[in-house]
């Protein structure tokens, strides 16, 4: 830390010598306006006015810039300044806004407000998305400190994201939102991300890891990822983007919108496909409409509607360890008849109404349905199994390293219904001489899941015997209250409380008893209640240095399938609970911005899933235990334009995370040797072992340059440290197998050979992007190379075997703005 501050002080001295200073006063109705964000548009440079509305903002040499002024209760203003017009005595007048700014989270344009947040916040703005040209959101999210992304099929269709050492399996410990609305299959009963918002239609992404997450729920453990969609433009226009590349990759995007009178409309359509993304073929269509209408100066509505349709041959089965080690199988389509169909319809309505000056009511109603039907062919690792199809992958070398497909299939059909309504009051007022902002609201959410399994008698069969049938219903009522008190232009305190009350019902209509299928009606209910407090503080030591700290309760309700057993028993499972704390520092010195945070999460009960998607037996039974996650994350951004020729733009970025994630209490697991020898009651204590899929170190860096002729390029690198994939922390699988060759038929040896267990080595991925914009034409070209060095690595051993990381992918495209 001393070294970092020392380096920043050097930059600060240089900034004082070579940078201009913008300054002045923000005025409204003749009075100075305190706590207003003032920032340079398109950069990360910003500040906040003091009690009298004064601000000082150092900035580098420029010919022209746009100064943004934004604050709660006032209309956003943009001021175009030339070098001759800039100075230290600017008087900028802003108008009161009849509609308060809704700050669901902090977006990339509200840089100055970051100084008053008592927690870690990261954002990816539209410019970064345009320059990165990501194939999926995974590419940009993995550049954020504290975020661990695991690829499943290379296209980001199923998001696997963990924050600060939490299990990334289907992002179940992260609250995923789009414009503040949940997007998981069922936010309470089944929060897994089998659907991921399409990054092509986003204007930004926000990641919140501090105690502010208690405003959103139900998951408050890892953090919040909020996808932001663009608003309708002021003038009619659109954008067309076409891109193609290796492996049959093709993507097209069309957007058009405008504002007429008091109504803005934005429509977009995306089509993306690939023939052989590793072992996966996919095609999806995504259509969305956003309508914004001002009914009056105090009433505004935003309506959104979306349709998503996807077909892919996604599968659970992956490579065995011998197959991966021999090479040549990385893009093998092991089960070509496997089919996953996802169809999603969504709609939301947000209404803002100004009840009185400083008091606004925001009401959001939303609903969506998701159909997730997955047809997967059965397989085995045993050459002596029955009902074989005759298709074999790999060689049986005595370690059961081959995969045998069977003449049967399981259709796992699921449909989800979700609906909710959430009125929220936002009130900005003066209390005892202090400025206070209060958020208070309540949300009701309904969700229902229909699940069937149908067993077919040949690959690709769409009909067969109904093996299981059930309906799961959930009702949840949440209430929250949070106050942010501005004690001065330097000190703010945030304190809040959230209540979660969840009621579940599971109705089992058909079960399998031995070899018989029985129609039945087994049902039971359970409920979960929790109070989730949070408190945070932010203190700006100077205009350039700020300190923040926060403490909040982490909470995630148990899944409905886990809370009520297959026999209809209420297992009375506790929710996942933790205490999450962090303390950090923000610095901004001239052309350098930096943030670091030390964090600690102490779980009294962390759920370790053993569903098939997590590489387990798929029984739905879970294990709980105490775990501890602690570490440090840091990120820095340096504007290097001053070191480049005139009118060139450039930046350097660096982020890193070091985390220790371990079982912190006694937890006994059947020993490997006991499994091999067929012994009972021989257990090993895994206390101190690392939790699965939690790399201890991640480092990300980037370098970007843009020339005045419109040519630019960026290079990013992502290092991911080694990971264990099982609670026993198995290291070298072959060293262990070699001592048990005679026992190769036992469960653990099979799991090791099948590729589901074993340490993941560290890997480093480099991406290159280049673009050229034809001045004044709206036309731009882009080129991208993902995994530039073509590094071969194991991305995951989930769900059932090894998934090799995506090889080098080259894409090229054209973008036209009209």
Q: How confident is the model at residue 2 (pLDDT cuts 50, 70, 90)?
A: very low
**Cα distance between residue 576 and residue 623, in whole Å:** 11
pLDDT at 570: 58
Q: Which of 341-355, 607-621, 723-737 has the lowest mean pLDDT?
A: 607-621
**Cα distance between residue 506 and residue 514, in whole Å:** 22
Give the DSSP letter of residue 214.
Answer: G
Q: Write the CB contacts of 667 (distance below 8 Å, at least 6 apart in sequence).
A: 623, 625, 626, 685, 686, 687, 727
**Cα distance between residue 229 and residue 335, in whole Å:** 36
- The total of other beta-carbon atoms located within 10 Å of residue 489's CB is 20
- Residue 759, Cβ density class (10 Å: 0-12 exposed, 13-18 middle, ≥19 buried): middle
**Cα distance between residue 241 and residue 811, in whole Å:** 13
Does domain 227-817 sit in CATH 2.40.170.20?
Answer: yes
Highest mean predicted confidence (pLDDT) among 29-43, 674-688, 745-759: 29-43
pLDDT at 37: 79
Q: Structure pTM?
A: 0.86
Q: How confident is the model at residue 516 (pLDDT cuts 50, 70, 90)?
A: confident
Is pLDDT at 460 greater than 80 in this prediction?
Answer: yes
Question: What architecture does CATH give domain 1-97?
Answer: Sandwich (2.60)
For tokens 């057993």, name the residue: 565
Q: Which of 61-70, 140-149, 381-390, 637-646 has the lowest mean pLDDT?
A: 61-70
CB-based contact 770:796 (threshold 8 Å):
no
Q: Which of 384-398, 434-448, 464-478 has the lowest mean pLDDT?
A: 384-398
Average pLDDT over residues 469-482: 94
pLDDT at 761: 94
Encode pLDDT of 144-190 as tens digits. Answer: 999 999 998 888 898 999 999 988 988 888 999 999 999 999 999 88
Domain assignments of the chain as residue spans, ordered by start? 1-97, 227-817
Give the DSSP letter of residue 115.
Answer: G
Q: How confident is the model at residue 4 (pLDDT cuts 50, 70, 90)?
A: very low
pLDDT at 16: 38
Q: How confident is the model at residue 367 (pLDDT cuts 50, 70, 90)?
A: very high
Q: Can you say how many angstroms the Cα of residue 726 is from the centroid of all Cα atoms in its chain?
A: 23
Q: Residue 626's closest CA among 660, 663, 659?
A: 663
3-state secondary structure of 712: strand
Q: Of all residues in the chain, what percent are helix, strand and coil, respectively (each to 5)?
A: 10, 55, 35
For tokens 């148990």, name the residue: 558
**Cα distance between residue 686 and residue 664, in whole Å:** 9
In 166-183, which positions are buried (b, 16+ CB within 10 angstroms) versus exposed (e)? bbbbbbbbbbbbbbbbbb
pLDDT at 10: 38
**Cα distance between residue 34 and residue 49, in whole Å:** 5
Give the DSSP letter of residue 28.
Answer: E
Give the gyration radius of the chain's Cα atoms: 27
In 190-200, which positions are buried (b, 16+ CB within 10 angstroms) versus exposed (e)? bbbbbbbbbbb
Is pLDDT at 341 greater than 50 in this prediction?
Answer: yes
Higher pLDDT, 466 or 751: 466
The token pair that represents 737 in the structure block = 């197998």
Does residue 405 have a cis peptide bond before it, meaning omega lies within 30 degrees of 0? no
Give the strand pairing for 46-48 and 74-82: unpaired
CB-based contact 140:126 (threshold 8 Å):
no
CB-based contact 565:545 (threshold 8 Å):
no
Q: Which of 214-223, 629-638, 718-727, 772-781 has the lowest mean pLDDT?
A: 214-223
Q: Can you say how many angstroms the Cα of residue 68 is from the centroid of all Cα atoms in its chain?
A: 28
Encode pLDDT of 585-595 as tens digits. Answer: 988 887 888 99
Q: Which of 133-142, 435-444, 740-749 has the lowest mean pLDDT?
A: 740-749
The token pair that represents 601 in the structure block = 């999460």
CB-based contact 512:468 (threshold 8 Å):
yes
Per the rule left: phi > 0, alpha: psi between -120 and 50, beta: everything else, 74 is beta
Is pLDDT at 408 greater than 50 in this prediction?
Answer: yes
**Cα distance between residue 343 and residue 548, in whole Å:** 43
Beta strands per DSSP E along 640-696: 649-663, 668-670, 683-685
Higher pLDDT, 689 or 51: 689
The token pair that represents 260 in the structure block = 């007429």
């Amino acid at each position: 830390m001393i070294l970092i501050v020392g380096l920043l002080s050097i930059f600060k001295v240089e900034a004082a010598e070579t940078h201009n200073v913008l300054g002045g006063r923000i005025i409204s109705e003749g009075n100075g306006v305190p706590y207003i964000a003032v920032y340079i548009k398109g950069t990360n440079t910003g500040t906040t006015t003091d009690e009298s509305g004064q601000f000082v903002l150092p900035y580098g040499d420029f010919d022209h810039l746009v100064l943004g002024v934004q604050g709660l209760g006032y209309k956003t203003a943009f001021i175009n300044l030339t070098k001759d017009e800039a100075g230290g005595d600017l008087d900028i007048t802003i108008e009161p806004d009849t509609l308060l700014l809704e700050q669901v989270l902090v977006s990339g344009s509200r840089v100055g407000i970051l100084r008053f947040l008592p927690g870690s916040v990261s954002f990816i703005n539209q410019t970064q998305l345009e320059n990165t040209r990501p194939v999926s959101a995974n590419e940009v999210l993995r550049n954020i400190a504290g975020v661990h992304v695991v690829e499943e099929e290379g296209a980001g269709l199923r998001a696997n994201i963990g924050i600060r050492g939490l299990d990334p399996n289907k992002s179940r410990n992260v609250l995923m939102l789009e414009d503040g609305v949940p997007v998981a299959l069922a936010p309470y009963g089944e929060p897994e991300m089998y659907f991921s918002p399409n990054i092509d239609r986003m204007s930004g992404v926000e990641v919140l890891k501090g105690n502010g997450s208690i405003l959103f729920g139900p998951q408050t453990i890892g953090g919040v990822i909020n996808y932001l969609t663009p608003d309708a433009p002021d003038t009619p226009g659109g954008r067309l983007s076409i891109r193609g590349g290796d492996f049959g990759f093709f993507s097209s995007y069309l957007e058009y919108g405008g504002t007429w009178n008091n109504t803005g409309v934005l429509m977009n359509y995306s089509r993306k496909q690939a023939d052989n993304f590793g072992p996966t073929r996919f095609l999806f269509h995504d259509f969305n409409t956003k309508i914004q209408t001002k009914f009056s100066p105090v009433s505004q509505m935003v309506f959104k509607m979306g349709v998503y349709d996807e077909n892919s041959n996604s599968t659970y089965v992956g490579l065995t360890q011998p197959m991966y080690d021999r090479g040549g199988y990385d893009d093998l389509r092991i089960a070509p008849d496997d089919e996953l169909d996802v169809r999603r319809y969504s709609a939301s309505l947000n209404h803002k109404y100004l009840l009185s000056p400083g008091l606004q009511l925001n009401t959001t109603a939303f609903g969506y349905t998701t159909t997730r039907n997955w047809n997967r062919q059965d397989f085995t690792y045993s050459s002596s199994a029955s009902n074989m199809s005759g298709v074999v992958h790999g060689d049986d070398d005595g370690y059961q390293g081959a995969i045998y497909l069977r003449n049967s299939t399981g259709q796992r059909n699921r449909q989800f219904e979700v609906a909710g309504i959430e009125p929220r009051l936002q009130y900005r007022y003066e209390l005892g001489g202090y400025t206070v902002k209060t958020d208070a609201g309540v949300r009701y959410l309904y969700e229902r899941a229909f699940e069937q399994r149908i067993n077919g008698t040949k690959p690709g069969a769409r009909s067969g015997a109904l093996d299981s049938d059930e309906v799961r219903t959930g009702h949840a009522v949440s209430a929250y209250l949070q106050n942010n008190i501005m004690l001065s232009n330097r000190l703010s305190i945030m304190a809040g409380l959230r209540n979660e009350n969840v009621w579940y019902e599971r109705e089992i209509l058909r079960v399998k008893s031995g070899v018989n299928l029985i129609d039945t009606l087994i049902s039971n209910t359970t409920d979960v209640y929790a109070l989730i407090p949070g408190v945070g503080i932010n203190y700006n030591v100077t205009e350039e240095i700020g300190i923040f700290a926060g403490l909040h309760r982490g909470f995630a309700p148990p899944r409905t399938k886990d809370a009520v057993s297959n026999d209809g028993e209420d297992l009375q499972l506790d929710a996942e609970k933790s205490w999450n704390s962090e303390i950090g520092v923000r610095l901004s010195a001239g052309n350098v911005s930096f943030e670091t945070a030390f964090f600690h999460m102490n779980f009294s009960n962390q759920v370790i899933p053993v569903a098939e998607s997590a590489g387990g037996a798929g029984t739905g039974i879970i294990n709980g235990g105490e775990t501890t996650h602690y570490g440090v994350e840091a990120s820095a951004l340096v504007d290097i334009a001053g070191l480049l020729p005139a009118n060139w733009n450039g930046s350097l970025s660096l982020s890193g995370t070091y985390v220790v994630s371990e079982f912190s209490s006694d937890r006994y697991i059947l020993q490997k040797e006991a499994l091999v020898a067929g012994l009972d009651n021989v257990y090993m204590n895994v206390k101190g072992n690392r939790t699965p899929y939690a790399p201890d170190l991640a480092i990300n860096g980037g370098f970007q340059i843009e020339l005045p002729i419109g040519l630019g390029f960026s290079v990013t690198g992502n290092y991911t440290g080694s990971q264990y994939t099982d609670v026993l922390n198995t290291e070298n699988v072959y060293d262990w197998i070699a001592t048990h060759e005679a026992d190769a038929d036992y469960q653990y040896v099979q799991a090791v050979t099948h590729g589901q267990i074993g340490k993941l080595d560290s890997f480093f991925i480099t991406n290159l992007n280049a673009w050229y914009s034809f001045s004044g034409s709206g036309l731009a070209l882009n080129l991208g190379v993902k995994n530039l060095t073509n590094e071969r690595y194991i991305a995951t051993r989930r769900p059932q075997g090894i998934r090799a990381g995506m090889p080098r992918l080259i894409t090229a495209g054209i973008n036209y703005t009209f």
